[in-house]
């Protein structure tokens, strides 16, 4: 039997968790604009790396919701999670560390 590490119970970065949302596509869209604003206003490479990690974690969590078998999501929620994944992926495509 494979044991999985549970998700973190405490928030590691509270200001980033206030920005990134996966509850609805409109909130994800707002989050992408906030992420872009923070990206443009900061010069810190560490902050930019943290933004990239937060967006990729949001994608990973959305994919996990789609693959959930114990309490599967509805068809409407599936479409919303797919849209959220597309939004964060498009944000990641436009924001690379150079």
Decide if 80 contacts 25 (C-beta within 8 A): yes
**If pLDDT is split at 50, 70 and 90, which confidence band does 10 have?**
confident
CA dist 96 and 4 (Å) reads: 31
pLDDT digits (tens, 9 = 90+) for 60-72: 999 999 998 888 8
**Total-model pTM:** 0.86
Decide if 36 contacts 95 (C-beta within 8 A): yes
pLDDT digits (tens, 9 = 90+) for 39-82: 999 999 999 999 999 999 999 999 999 998 888 899 999 999 99
Decide if 25 contacts 84 (C-beta within 8 A): yes
Name the token pair of 73: 């999501």
Decide if 15 contacts 54 (C-beta within 8 A): no
pLDDT value for 71: 87
Name the token pair of 24: 């609805």
**If pLDDT is split at 50, 70 and 90, which confidence band does 3 have?**
low
Q: Regarding predicted confidence, which is higher, 41 or 6?
A: 41
Looking at the chain, the whole-number percentage of residues with pLDDT higher than 70 is: 91
């Amino acid at each position: 039997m494979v044991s999985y590490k549970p998700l973190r119970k405490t928030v590691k970065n509270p200001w980033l968790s206030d920005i990134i949302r996966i509850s609805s596509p409109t909130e994800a869209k707002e989050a992408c604009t906030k992420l872009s604003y923070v990206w443009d206003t900061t010069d810190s490479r560490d902050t930019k790396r943290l933004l990239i990690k937060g967006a990729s974690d949001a994608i990973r969590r959305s994919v996990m919701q789609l693959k959930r078998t114990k309490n599967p999501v509805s068809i409407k929620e599936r479409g919303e999670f797919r849209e959220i994944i597309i939004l964060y992926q498009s944000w990641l495509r436009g924001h690379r560390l150079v």
